[in-house]
Chains A and B, each alone.
Chain A
Amino acid sequence: MIAFTIEMALVATALLLVPGTLVAWLLARREWRGKTLVETFVMLPLVMPPVATGLILLQLFGRRGVIGSRLGFDVIFTWRAVVLAMTVMAFPLFVRTARVAFEHVTRRYEEIARTLGATEGRVFFTITLPLASRGIVAGAVIAFARALGEFGATILVAGNIPDQTSTIAVSIYSLVQLGEDHAAMSLLGVSVAISFAAILASELLMRKA
């Protein structure tokens, strides 16, 4: 179950990297009508109660949901729901950190690259991204830590099915409910240790930038 949680968190982090980087870059470097709307929408899972986000996901991805009914496979109550909840909840955290990283890249460097004939794509991959990489990695680490600890949305969309969708956070809750405090505390210790290591790594990375 611990390995499962870590695996799912890694998958979730991997999934949000490309779209998250793209969104972060757009928010950092581009202006457009309705940008504020996009910003708000992206940040929603961060400020809404996780169970509320979970409820929305349940509606969308349930067998009868707008998205769920069109997929060929089940999402709710499977490992996919775990990844889904983790990805959605960690996404805004990643975008926020990556956006700051992009905003801190000196625009002058990008401008010079343009005068030297680089296309926008080349500017992004050879100048912007490398210079923002430390912050982006820090964001990924934070996202991973958030995914690991995800509970509110997870319990709604994935439930707590032993050996199938049981994560560390959900298991702690369940053990507490059953009155097995000792086991719950042990698991809590594991959870704190992993999160602590992740946050520490992220802080160190950001500080060097």
Chain B
Amino acid sequence: MLAIILTLQVHAAASLTDAMRDIGAAFQRATGIAVSFNFAGSSTIARQIESGAPGDVFISADEAQMNRVQPFIIGSTRRDIVSNELVIVGERDLMKAKRIALADPRAVPAGVYARLYLERIGLWRRLEKKVIPTENVRAALAAVKAGNADAAIVYRTDDPNGVVIKDGPPIAYPAAVLRDSKSRAAAMRFVEFLRGKEARAIFTKYGFIAK
């Protein structure tokens, strides 16, 4: 076990929580560089970065939130890492559900993807008033588990038992090194590690789609 040389601060979308913890541990075993995570809705993280929050790497759950922080990242380090799918948990027939929990469809990627999907199939207008916006995708899942919402649209990685939405929008998780990172080289190494074989295996284990 190598001694810890330094610690990277990584901001990652909430949906990556479980996979990232394992990947962080693997990275430390391989390089001696520890990883400290901040998991939150991607829009929350984007907001924090805009306000000057320190950090080394940002992994967003969609392109939009990464685009939002474009001035704060090193553009050439931006890479797509994994993909995901949407599922419906709880009441499958959304028209029957009284309350549908979605991560805030205005900004949180999971909710945005869900809204895009519902808009595309023409159901958004009718379902909009039943929507309960939550701060992140895990909160939407928790609402259904607790019984306070009848249905939710979350990632397949959040609930493998959900009904997969086959024709959902393409989901991408871009990662990038932050411009103010004090350890750019180490941060870049981490981003590359995310695309490597070991990380891909971990992602797949948790249900992500790693090409």
| B17 CB-CB contact with A under 8 Å | no
Query: Which segment of B30-38, B146-154, B201-209 sits at the interface?
Result: B146-154
Q: Is the CB of A161 within 8 A of B133?
A: yes
| Cα–Cα, bound, A128→B29 (Å) | 71
Q: Is the CB of A64 within 8 A of B146?
A: yes
| Cα–Cα, bound, A28→B80 (Å) | 65
Q: Is the CB of A62 within 8 A of B147?
A: yes
Min Cβ gap B139→A in Å is: 9
| Cα–Cα, bound, A63→B148 (Å) | 6
Q: Knowing A77-B99, A176-B47, A177-B43 are in contact, say whether A161-B131 is a contact too (CB < 8 A).
A: yes
Min Cβ gap B146→A in Å is: 5
The A59-99 residues at the B interface (CB cut-off 8 A) are: 62-64, 74, 76-77
Q: Is the CB of B148 within 8 A of A77?
A: yes
Among B44, B47, B50, B132, point to the contact of A77 (Cβ < 8 A): B132
The B44-65 residues at the A interface (CB cut-off 8 A) are: 44, 46-47, 50
Interface residue total, chain B, C-beta cutoff 8 A: 20
Q: Is the CB of B99 within 8 A of A64?
A: no
Q: Which residues of A lie under 8 Å from residue B143 when comparing CB positions?
A: 77
| A58 CB-CB contact with B under 8 Å | yes
Q: Closest B residue to A161 by CB, please name it.
A: B132
Q: Knowing A58-B146, A77-B99, A77-B148 are in contact, say whether A178-B107 is a contact too (CB < 8 A).
A: yes
Interface residue total, chain A, C-beta cutoff 8 A: 17
Q: Is the CB of A179 within 8 A of B50?
A: yes
Q: Is the CB of A63 within 8 A of B68?
A: no
Q: Which residues of A lie under 8 Å from residue B99 when comparing CB positions?
A: 77
Q: Which residues of B lie under 8 Å from residue A162 when comparing CB positions?
A: 133
Q: Binary interface profile of A, 135-172, with partner B (CB < 8 Å = 1, else 0)?
A: 00000000000000000000100011110000000000
A-B contact pairs, 18 of them (CB 8 A): A58-B148, A64-B146, A77-B99, A77-B132, A77-B149, A159-B133, A160-B133, A162-B133, A177-B44, A177-B104, A177-B107, A178-B43, A178-B47, A178-B106, A179-B46, A179-B47, A179-B50, A179-B68
**Could you list which residues of chain B lie within 8 angstroms of chain A, going by C-beta atoms?**
43-44, 46-47, 50, 68, 99, 104, 106-107, 131-135, 143, 146-149
Closest 5 CB pairs of A and B: A63-B147, A64-B147, A76-B148, A62-B146, A62-B148
A-B contact sample (7 more), CB < 8 A, given A161-B131, A178-B106, A179-B46 = A62-B146, A74-B148, A159-B134, A162-B133, A176-B47, A177-B107, A179-B68
